Chains A and B, each alone.
Chain A
Amino acid sequence: MIFNSIAFIIFFVIVASLNYILPAALRWIWILAASIFFYMYVAPLYILVPIFIIAVTYFGGIQIEKAASASKRRIFYLTCIILNVGTLVFFKYTNFFTNMLVDFANYIRQNLLHVEASVHNIFLISIFAPLGISYITFQAIGYLIEIKRGNQLAEKNIGYFATYLLYFPKVIAGPVERAHHFLPQFTLQKKLDFAGVSAGLKQILWGLFKKLVIADRLSIYISTVFDNTAMHSGYTLALCAIFYVFQMYADFSGYTDMALGFSKLLGLDLMPNFNRPLAAKSVTEFWRKWHISLSTWFGDYFYNPIAIAKRDWGQWAVIYASFITFIVLGFWHGANWTFIVFGFLQGAILTIEFLTKKIRKNLRKKIPGAVNNTLGVIFTFCYFAFSLIFFRANSVTAALDIIKGICHFKGSLFIPEQYMVLYPLFGIGIMLFVEWMENRSHSAWGYFSHQNIIVRYSAYLAVSILILLLGVFDGGQFIYFQF
């Protein structure tokens, strides 16, 4: 069930109404039941995987906490981490690793032994990764680490804990919620008030706008071009690479806004995941504003421990930790070399930005602030667009072909129908304007939270009308184009 489907809306109205009627102390039971239903909606049997993770992590957490000796604590901790990581690797990365071994064996047969490359992968598993497996295991791992570090008390109520990992608004696309932020909300039992519900509805509306008017519109154009890269000019490919940043951002942040909004309607707060990343003036700053829940997770559990352990290396500690962290972060997105390259590119630019900090600071003194900021924003955008080519492509070779294509300044811009480019551009314009306003006034929700009721209502209505008029509601929008 995706959020922008009628099925989900019906489901959610039922869940939210009953949640409102129920006494606060019982709500978690209802939300857990709804989350289990949501999880089992498509493939019921897959619920066994999160049940396994919940059981391991719940009991493991308690054991780590009360372990009598440090060595015992270590054994419990490592067992739980291995089981979690193992589950994730098994479902998501088995084929990637076995294929790599098979390719390697075939390479040796062909090039060193000069025999036919006839090794086949007999370990290929043809199962889908369970819904949200990367998010669930990462939250579980973070929880275990915090208990081991002594920052988090093990949750004693297995119901609360199961709800933490299975909570349906965040199961598909995060955020990677922290236990210390989420779990106390069950005992605090915040009252559902008008302000919360109204904020939730606004956030859903804005999320829908980004998803339907910008992301899904752009996706029609971008997939037509990127599915047939060889037939398109460098200009078209470059435009798509730029568009893809907007698609990615509008899609992901729009979906997250909906997740946070729906969650507010149930009286639970999720952590924000984006903080206007397109305004970042460096890639380092960008990663503090993009997919925040994941980048802080990697910061706390990957980057910091590595950098601290190696801090005697001086600058090399930072460089080493950056590369390792971002390569793993890239790989977390999917089992493909393209994601590893994506992560490597982030590590590389962070290193460069880190090493040139002094030089850039001196340069900054010589050029006016506005020029400097603008150049920073443009550079960050372009670099991210470039790295996303790898993120989007099916293989590294395909990504390199696109880059080669972009360098080829020839041919014309592919515009099947003007509105296919104009609609999303219009949507992007509105989004950037609103974010610029928010950035300037340091307030969230721009016109949605304006003091003047007429301005506020006009904003809700305008966004609703644009969604109805320009949103993409189904697969009915397509580019009539064939090769």
Chain B
Amino acid sequence: MSVECSKYESGVVVCTFSNRMDTSKCLEAEEDVMKAIDGAEKIIFNLDGIDYIASSFLRLCNKAFDKVKAGNFSMINVTPAVKRVFKIAGLAERLNLSLN
């Protein structure tokens, strides 16, 4: 299992990813994530312990971001290495990473 998603009554969905989100893990997780966040008010990606992300993970983040209103997507527990990836990609601000 590369992701576990929890839905709360408030409409918040928290997706917790684990280990290395390479291309195959992202493909594996995508369906579960998209199903879980359908109709969500707020989405939180928990990246605790993630030390590598592939291109497809950036795409998954962008897809999730587009599912909710501006400001209602965020990421938590981002490691420095992964934060740097989002900064280089120019996605940190858009994906609400700035305070992580």
Are the chains A and B members of one assembly?
A: no
